[in-house]
Structure 1
């Protein structure tokens, strides 16, 4: 009988102490009091807690931050701003092409988020989507604008190529 009471008392103490230590640094060894006053552990421990105090005071953790997604409409607006001046688009063409680009960018986002596809599959699907989008855009252009559009697309490809080479350096 005493062993059962001792086991229950031990379990009770164990379960009440664990949350108490967890308040000072996410458990044992992730920084905070469990790892000494010197702050250590795995990254965001500051010695007196796991960064919760610093996050509450304006600091941010580097582990859980994602780059903000730019809205599709904003991206299309920037593209259309350039394209409108380069190709001398009228209002109807501008609306039609912006709808095509919006749909294309949304599909591209879906393709990129698809985790079941390999990287090579994603690249080939995006290239195919790009070709379809270019064909759909050229349907709204006259012959002079089509020539300007092919030059515009080539310039954009060259711009992204130079950006990629700068990132590699």
Structure 2
């Protein structure tokens, strides 16, 4: 039997436990790893992005901005709780709808009549399907 195929050549003692250097450490690492969950975006980041659009659009003053941001923060946290709830889809849909209506009502409490109209228009723009511009 040639020496290179023995224990000190390409066998168990030569290039690692399975002949490729690293052995089973890579396989063990991938097996022990749990499936990665998408990283959750902090509520504050989401609220800040919403407020970046909303503040200039509605011409909110500093107090309105704080109050509306607090309402949105509360709403997003409630949405997170609803998402994790084990109730059926129909029930979740009703709860999301109720949460949306409550959030709108609370936001409107801090707005004047002109701002409420702008808020409604902003919501309509967000919910209506976007029309694609045709290239000529």
Same fold? TM cut 0.5? yes
Listed one character per residue, the Cα deviations across residues 62-100 of structure 1 (whole Å, up to 9, x for unaligned) are x61111111111100000010001101000000000000
**1 or 2 for the larger relative contact order (CA 8 Å, sep ≥6)?**
2
- The answer for the alignment partner of 1:133 in structure 2 is 103
Q: Does 1:155 align with 2:128?
A: no
Q: Does 1:109 align with 2:107?
A: no
Q: TM-score normalised to the size of structure 1?
A: 0.58
Matches of 1:54 and 1:118, distance apart in 2 = 35
- The answer for the alignment partner of 2:40 in structure 1 is 69
Return closer, same or farther for 1:124/1:55 CA change in 2, 3 Å cut-off. Answer: same
Matches of 2:89 and 2:65, distance apart in 1 = 33
What is the root-mean-square deviation of aligned Cα atoms in Å?
Answer: 2.4
- The answer for the alignment partner of 1:52 in structure 2 is 28
Structure 1's unaligned 5+ residue stretches are 1-36, 38-46, 163-169
Listed one character per residue, the Cα deviations across residues 109-159 of structure 1 (whole Å, up to 9, x for unaligned) are 1011012x001111110111001100100010001100000011111223x
- The answer for the alignment partner of 1:118 in structure 2 is 88
Q: What is the deviation of 1:54?
A: 5.9
Matches of 1:89 and 1:83, distance apart in 2 = 8
Which runs of at least 4 in structure 1 moved beyond 4 Å after TM superposition? 47-50, 53-56
Matches of 1:97 and 1:131, distance apart in 2 = 14
SS of aligned partner of 2:60: coil
Return closer, same or farther for 1:133/1:93 CA change in 2, 3 Å cut-off. Answer: same
Matches of 1:110 and 1:132, distance apart in 2 = 16
